[in-house]
Amino acid sequence: MPSEIPYATFANYSPRGSAKQSEKSRTLCGLVKAGRVDVIRSALPHLTDSQNQDLVSFLNPEITLVPVPRSAPLTAGALWPSKVIADTLLEGYLGREVLPCIRRVSAVRKSSTSPANERPLWTEHYASLVVDKPLFDPVTITLIDDVLTMGRTAYACAQRLKDTFPNAEVKFFALIRTQGLIPDIEKIVEPSIGTITGYSSGKTLRNP
């Protein structure tokens, strides 16, 4: 039976649009992927704005923030954008702690550079991941990532966490949501919530 996890995002990204907003979104995405703390930090006032109350259940001082690993095992000194984002959110009191407990033991193809029909299934991601169990089990967890596309990595990480922490509530937050099916985006900053549904085929459905 399919199951789903809730997700939230902060901004939109157009991979191919030609309008000014779409071009600006690609610049923003590149800076976030590069781990630019000043750019990530600029989102904090928006994330805590009273108009974005839907995000409170994803980001608050009681949540354990778990950064999503990169597509290959992390090497010493390598940039880990989702960890940079998680640390910055913690700095803004949008988390209780940062717990980097998920890691890759084998590499998978990068979703961002693979054609849609060649992107790894969530089952492939799941097989490449392990969770290092901490001394105390977290109760509420939000997975943190830089960009949400199809949600396969997010879903795989959530399933690994649920296996390790069966009593925990697991959600997902990414700073940026890919809008690949829309020619051009109208807004860059547009907080949104939705669900990612995983299927036994290894595919996922992101809604919206």
Each residue's pLDDT tens digit, 19-42: 999 999 999 999 999 999 999 999
- Digit-coded pLDDT (tens) for 9-19: 999 999 999 99
Distance of CA 122 to CAs 72, 117, 128, 152, 170, Å?
15, 13, 10, 5, 16
Examine the pLDDT at 196 and tell me if it is beyond 80: yes
The answer to whether residues 167 and 2 touch, using CB atoms and an 8 Å cutoff, is no
Q: What is the mean pLDDT of residues 158-180?
A: 96
Q: What is the pLDDT of residues 42-89, one digit of tens each?
A: 999 989 886 778 899 999 999 999 999 999 999 999 999 999 999 999
What does the block give as tokens for 23?
Answer: 């071009």
Q: What is the mean pLDDT of residues 194-198?
A: 98
* pLDDT at residue number 134: 93
Q: Are 142 and 65 in contact (CB under 8 A)?
A: yes
Helices assigned H by DSSP within 92-151: 122-127
The crossing angle, in degrees rounded to 10, of helices 81-91 and 20-33 is 90
**pLDDT interval class at 176 (50, 70, 90):** very high
- Give pLDDT, residue 51: 73
Reported pTM: 0.95
At residue 111, the pLDDT reads 72
- pLDDT at residue 2 is higher than 90: no
Q: How confident is the model at residue 182 (pLDDT cuts 50, 70, 90)?
A: confident
Among candidate residues 1, 2, 26, the one with its CA nearest the CA of residue 14: 26
How confident is the model over 107-142, as pLDDT tens digits? Answer: 998 876 667 678 899 999 999 999 999 999 999 999
| Domain 3-207, CATH | 3.40.50
User: What is the structure's pLDDT at 112?
Assistant: 66
At 145, is the pLDDT very low, low, confident or very high (cuts 50, 70, 90)? Answer: very high
